[in-house]
């Protein structure tokens, strides 16, 4: 049997070395030398040597046939929505997120509720720890098997004997291959282990889900090529101080990347949030100054969120500008528009802005709601009940239209709002709506409409 041959290459310039060195002599970069496999053993641990190896031949596109992809429903409506309808056989899915955000809980919860035979491979927790978490989730399943192993050869050996229909690996940074001498978590080991899992998934048509760590910058740990190798990249995000978690697709070869799923973290696991708008906005009967509701879009999903603003006299010499869940630079721009175009003197006042629910929003469609909340707090006058806003504000003080206005209006109408403010240039749906649509073209018109 042939021996595995490896060499060391610089990740920056590609220079080859016979052994590891700290600095590349060609580009003078430090810690860029990694070990890579040049020639490996022909037999794989998950392949029986008696099985013939099928060779692919070129075929015309018209002969192949682009039938609809088979999907494996996960039993989680939010996860299926983000994946595009479920798991595709033979696909490799990578899910990343901050420590403690709930990645392992989501994957274990999915593995327990599937009617398929699932192998959950953990390199971070013992079998007893995972069993305690499964008991806390309250959904013990005889189809879910737990394996605590980090060596890929032994993992594939157990897969061949068990015959699972889904494999979950927690996490890819803990695995190591016998082909390389580098330690687990290194760039070369992550790439090699992922390549072995991809080869296994494509040949066996068994979907594989990988859990990945992220760096302090928020990127998935390991080489950037890792995200190019897999079929789907999911990001599980949220603030640990809040209950809500958002699952979004950064890459999806089998579906759209515009969908997202929303969960609520509870003691018994993650609960699917079918209607997040009712949770993200407070009781509409309470009329408080400085609050406004915006109709935004997260991917293809319309959401109503509450914007809170507080305008007060500056205690110190320099006024404070603070925004939570909203870009601070955009807040400064909107304040400048109010100062220049509407004549409001806010240069000597502190302005604080908050998006409730702990979510991050960068949709320009909430600009009008931000202005309404700031004006309401500055005048200390609560807005009329049932008001909603969906428009962008330009530097000239004009109110600009936003895309998919029909979905925004429909979501506001479904939740019982009476009036929605949109741009005068917005193309409204021809079908009659149960909600009053008021058009405004400039910031001055918005001020007159709200406060007379």
Q: Which two tokens stand for residue 323?
A: 């925004």
Closest CA to 87 of 300, 263, 254, 249: 254
Binding-site positions for ATP read 97-104
In degrees rounded to 5, what are phi and psi of residue 390?
A: -155, 90
How far apart, in whole angstroms, are the C-alpha atoms of residue 12 and residue 203?
32
CA angle 99-170-250, nearest 5°?
Answer: 65
Q: Which two tokens stand for residue 155?
A: 């993992």
Binding-site positions read 97-104
């Amino acid at each position: 049997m042939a021996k595995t041959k490896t060499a060391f290459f610089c990740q920056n310039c590609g220079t080859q070395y016979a052994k590891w060195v700290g600095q590349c002599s060609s580009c003078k970069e430090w810690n860029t030398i990694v070990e890579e496999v040049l020639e490996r053993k022909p037999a794989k641990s998950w392949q029986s040597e008696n099985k013939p190896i099928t060779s692919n031949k070129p075929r015309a596109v018209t002969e192949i046939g682009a039938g609809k992809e088979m999907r494996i429903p996960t039993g989680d409506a939010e996860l299926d929505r983000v994946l595009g309808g479920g798991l595709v056989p033979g696909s490799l899915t990578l899910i990343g997120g901050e420590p403690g955000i709930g990645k392992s809980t989501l994957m274990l919860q999915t593995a327990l509720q599937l009617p398929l035979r699932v192998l959950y491979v953990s390199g971070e927790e013992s079998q007893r720890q995972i069993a305690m978490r499964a008991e806390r989730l309250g959904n013990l399943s005889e189809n879910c098997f737990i394996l605590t192993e980090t060596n890929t050869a032994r993992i594939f050996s157990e897969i061949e004997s068990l015959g699972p229909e889904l494999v979950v690996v927690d996490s890819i940074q803990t695995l190591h291959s016998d082909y390389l001498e580098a330690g687990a978590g290194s760039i070369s080991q992550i790439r090699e282990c992922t390549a072995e899992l991809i080869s296994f998934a494509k040949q066996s048509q068994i979907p594989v889900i990988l859990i990945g760590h992220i760096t302090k910058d928020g990127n998935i740990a390991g080489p950037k090529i890792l995200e190019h190798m897999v079929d789907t990249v999911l990001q599980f995000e949220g603030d640990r101080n809040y209950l809500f978690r958002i699952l979004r697709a950064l890459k999806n070869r089998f579906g759209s990347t515009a969908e997202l799923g929303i969960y609520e973290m509870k003691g018994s696991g993650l609960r699917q949030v079918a209607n997040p708008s009712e949770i993200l906005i407070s009781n509409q009967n309470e009329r408080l100054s400085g609050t406004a509701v915006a109709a935004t879009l997260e991917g293809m999903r319309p959401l109503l969120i509450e914007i809170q603003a507080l305008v007060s006299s500056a205690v110190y010499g320099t006024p404070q500008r603070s925004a939570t869940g909203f870009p601070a630079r955009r807040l400064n721009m909107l304040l400048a528009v109010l100062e220049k175009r509407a004549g409001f003197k806010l240069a000597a006042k502190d302005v604080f802005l908050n998006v409730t629910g702990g979510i991050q929003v960068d949709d320009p469609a909430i600009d009008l709601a931000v202005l309404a909340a700031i004006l309401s707090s500055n005048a200390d006058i609560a807005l009329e009940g049932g008001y909603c806003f969906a428009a962008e504000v330009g530097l000239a003080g004009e109110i600009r239209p936003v895309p998919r206005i029909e979905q925004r209006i429909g979501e506001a109408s479904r939740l019982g709002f009476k009036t929605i403010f949109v741009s005068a240039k917005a193309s409204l749906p021809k079908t009659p709506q149960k909600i009053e649509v008021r058009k405004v073209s400039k910031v001055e018109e918005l001020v007159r409409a709200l406060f007379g």
